[in-house]
Amino acid sequence: MSTDHCRIIQLPKIHDERGNLTFIESSRHIPFEIKRVYYVYDVPGGAERGGHAHKTLHQFLIAVGGSFSVILDDGFRKTEFYLNRGYFGLYVCPGIWREINNFSTGSLCLVLTSDFYDEEDYIRDYDSFLAVCHDTVP
């Protein structure tokens, strides 16, 4: 898979005098069925998360509060995204190394995923990741 398959997706935003409401419908707004939701919060200044790839998992990341940067790497090319709105999310396909940093104070990273948690789905060693990427290219 390449970072070309990853993209920012704009979500519906319903605005009225009481504020904004955004919703996400499984498989309608994002390209997979949602099986798990988790969120990362209270991230100390300067901390970095991620540092791994997934073999089969699809994910969708949203800065529900605050902001952070996501660097995606397909083994050949790196692309950086800056998330800072609750109505934009980043779709990350399988086979992509990700680093998440530059968290603003009080930020909240919401993640929707296509499957349950499975440590076997992770590649946590960068050299192993590169070996997989380069072997799979014809």
Contact set with ligand T46 (CB under 6 A): 36, 38, 40, 49-50, 59, 61, 98, 100, 111, 117
Annotation marks residue 15 as catalytic: no
Q: How far is the CB of 111 from ligand T46 (least distance, A)?
A: 5
In the complex with ligand T46, the residue whose CB is nearer, 22 or 62, is 62
Q: How far is the CB of 138 from ligand T46 (least distance, A)?
A: 27
59 in Cβ contact with 37 (< 8 Å): no
In the complex with ligand T46, the residue whose CB is nearer, 61 or 133, is 61
Q: How far is the CB of 4 from ligand T46 (least distance, A)?
A: 19
**Exposed, middle or buried: residue 58 (CB in 10 Å: 0-12, 13-18, 19+)?**
buried
**What's the sign of the alpha-carbon dihedral 122, 126, 131, 137?**
positive
| Side-chain-facing half-sphere of 133: CA atoms under 13 Å | 21
Instruction: Give the residue numbers annotated as catalytic, written as ranges.
Output: 52
